[in-house]
Amino acid sequence: MLLVLGLDAPAMGQHIGLDLRETVTRVLAYTRWPVPPDPLRVCFIGTSPHAERLQEQGIAWPGGPVLLRRPDPGPGVAAQCDVLYIGALEAAQWQQLAQELEGQPVLTLCERSTPCLASGMVRLDIERAGRAVRFEINLDALARGKVRIHPQVLRLGQERKP
């Protein structure tokens, strides 16, 4: 079961709606781990211009400090990360990653892709022009994982800045 939410990102030169950084920050604010991470380890895997921009901008988390990493997508990555932001990966890499993440307390945020539909917890759909950030919550993947996202995340799709 997927839950789809759409958030308008700022138009050029305007501050209306939410951009990718703010969307990710707010999703993280509503996420709970079995043991609160300190610091929150956010890892970037795969290729993505959006991930590069997030790394440059940094990510805020109300729970404390954030450590940004770019590990190799191989064995042991789940033990290094509390959050995985996943860009483009080959199907074999996705399969290996999905197996490794099974039962681990790792939130997966991934850009729109077919493998992400099956195993990603939060699928980000970023419009090419950058005017909208939409995301889907994969409730089945979330239920199988060890992290929880508070139901208040549903309000993100309704919030707008004046």
CATH of the domain at 42: 3.40.50
Q: In angstroms, rounded to a whole number, what is the distance separating the alpha carbons of residues 134 and 157?
A: 8
25 or 2, higher pLDDT: 25
Where residue 85 falls among pLDDT bands split at 50, 70, 90?
very high
Residue 100 belongs to a domain: yes
Residue 162 belongs to a domain: no
Residue 88 belongs to a domain: yes
User: Which residue range forms the structural domain that includes residue 28?
Assistant: 8-125+145-157
Q: What is the pTM of this model?
A: 0.82
Residue 149 belongs to a domain: yes
Token representation of residue 87: 């860009």
Residue 3 belongs to a domain: no
| Maximum Cα–Cα distance across the chain | 45
Q: What is the pLDDT of residue 1?
A: 46
Q: What is the pLDDT of residue 141?
A: 87
The answer to whether 18 and 131 have CB atoms below 8 angstroms apart is no
- Number of domains the chain contains: 1
**8-state DSSP, 65:** -
Residue 65 belongs to a domain: yes
Average pLDDT over residues 60-75: 88
